[in-house]
Structure 1
Amino acid sequence: MCLGCDFRSNTNKMVSLNVYLLLLAGVQFAMTAPNRDRRRQDTEGCSRSSPDLNECVGNSIQYFVNFMASGKITPKVAITAFDPLLLPNMTISHQTKNFNAIYVNRYLLGLKNSFIYDTSVDLDKFDFSTTFLMPALELLGMYSGESLDDQEATENSILTISVRSSTAKFRVKGELFKSAARVEFLRLNVTDVDLTMGPYVINDLDHSTHIPRVNRHFNSIPRPEFVKLIEKDLRVQLSSRLQHIANEVLALAPYEKFFPV
């Protein structure tokens, strides 16, 4: 699917340009004072020939993450929100324990407080990479399990996983495509996510009383093993969902506006 290929009217073009200007206006806010004096970037984007291209892109991502998490770009334009980030249902099977579980209505909190660093950009090859330091993440959802031996299902419970000091390095490949109006846009494809989860706390709360309790089926899986499953799932979800959101943003303006000569 080609995001942003339809700029069908002059009105839509003007809206997209205004949205782009709003996004780029935040770049200066994210910069240090000396850089603001040295490099005036009110609406120029990140110049392809700039020696500070990596810093410019990193600061732009930082501003977007901190201030656009709700997805509201302007009163009339919105993209997918990423804090909270809605996640699909997760099914957990354990053949050794003869056990199945589902983790549903999930969402992730805390991405908007991420710190962006180690950003690298190669526009000749359209290679990008950046690292997110995520001080605190909260994964919440409804959890229930079932033993295949006795078909005894647990009561629904609110499962909260609190994680501290995680990092995620995204490696991304870009490509240019032309819209119906023959305007070039940039599209990104996340090729790899190196996710490292920090220390975690898991709370299993009763749905009716919110009192911590022992969930027999949940405890049948060793916690480290369960967290590895969560880490693997988060790697996939962050890759696909943040890729989609990044492409929604890039579809708001042509490539040359984000990366002028």
Structure 2
Amino acid sequence: MVSLNIYLLLLAGIHLTLAAPSRDRRRQETTTGCPKNSSELNECVGTSIQYFVNFMASGKLSPKVAITPFDPLLLPNMTISHQAKEFKAIYVNRYLVGLKNSFIYDTSVDLDKLELSMTFLMPALELLGMYSGESLVDHEGSENSILTISVRSSTAKFRVKGELYKSPEHLEYLRISGVDVELSMGPYVINDLDHSTHIPRVNRHLNDISRPEFVKLIEKDLRVQLSSRLQHIANEVLALAPYEKLFPV
């Protein structure tokens, strides 16, 4: 059975370097991270991230240890304003489903600079929430409705920067100080209608903005949310494991 310590280390790999069982059999019993000088460092980190993404989305490490879950990933409310079209809308109680089915590739680690880059292939994402709009002219509003956006074959490239700091116990820890995300959304469906059709009349005020323009706003928001929310989750875990446990010499 994999130890709790390894689970803690694996969770650190959302954006930055994280632990994985050593591939060097001579060190397998004493090493739980990715050795700094290993020729398979990139592969070790990539494998660990893949394991984490697939099996630890709930955030539960043990009956007593848990972090913020990332699938479903809860998102803050979103306000959409369009002065030229004279309407505004709110998209609330939102959450994103499907990150745990991602595939990780092109992992690159630079421990000297504390940098990591990797690309996620996300076969299927579902963004759900309550949507309502209001005209700025007559203040006529649409009914609240569940707005679902289904996206297929999206990619996200993460570039992550980290920094080291010392705990009160004088142990060195790693935390993420910056995340850059390049997100490319694939074909989408809104409320079970293909993107070539009209948005349902229940969301009348969505008709005041073109679908491509609306989805572009969603894409921009998701890019920001993936950066901030996943950085927060990763730093929750990084605070649990000293740097030397992640990358032993």
TM-score by length of structure 1 reads 0.83
The more displaced of 62-71 and 37-46 is 37-46
Is the alpha carbon distance of 1:257 and 1:140 closer, same or farther for their aligned partners in structure 2, counting shifts above 3 Å?
same
Answering whether residue 118 of structure 2 is matched by residue 133 of structure 1, we say no
**Matches of 2:117 and 2:35, distance apart in 1:** 18
Is the alpha carbon distance of 1:241 and 1:165 closer, same or farther for their aligned partners in structure 2, counting shifts above 3 Å?
same
Gaps of 5+ in 2: 11-18, 194-199
Whether contact under 8 Å (1:107, 1:139) holds in the other structure is yes
**Matches of 1:245 and 1:43, distance apart in 2:** 25
2:67 — aligned with what? 79
2:166 — aligned with what? 178
Shift in Å, 1:36: 8.4
Aligned residues: 233
1:6 — aligned with what? none
Is the alpha carbon distance of 1:149 and 1:121 closer, same or farther for their aligned partners in structure 2, counting shifts above 3 Å?
same
2:94 — aligned with what? 106
Deviation per CA, 1:193-235: give whole Å up to 9, x if none.
0000000000179xxxxxx544221111100000000000000
**Matches of 2:29 and 2:38, distance apart in 1:** 12
Aligned counterpart for 2:49 among listed residues 43, 57, 61: 61
**Matches of 1:92 and 1:106, distance apart in 2:** 14
Aligned counterpart for 2:7 among listed residues 19, 22, 25: 22
**Matches of 2:24 and 2:127, distance apart in 1:** 37
Show the 5 A alignment for 1:1-261: 19-23=4-8, 27=20, 40=28, 43-203=31-191, 213-261=201-249
Deviation per CA, 1:18-65: give whole Å up to 9, x if none.
63233468945xx9xxx6879847843001100110111111111111
- Report the 3-state secondary structure (helix = DSSP H, G, I; strand = E; otherwise coil) of the residue aligned with 1:152: coil
Shift in Å, 1:259: 0.6
Q: Percent same amino acid among aligned pairs?
A: 77
**Matches of 1:156 and 1:67, distance apart in 2:** 35
**Matches of 1:42 and 1:87, distance apart in 2:** 39
Gaps of 5+ in 1: 1-17, 206-211
Shift in Å, 1:191: 3.1
Is the alpha carbon distance of 1:24 and 1:88 closer, same or farther for their aligned partners in structure 2, counting shifts above 3 Å?
closer
**Matches of 1:149 and 1:79, distance apart in 2:** 45
**Matches of 2:73 and 2:157, distance apart in 1:** 18
TM-score by length of structure 2 reads 0.87
Shift in Å, 1:105: 0.2
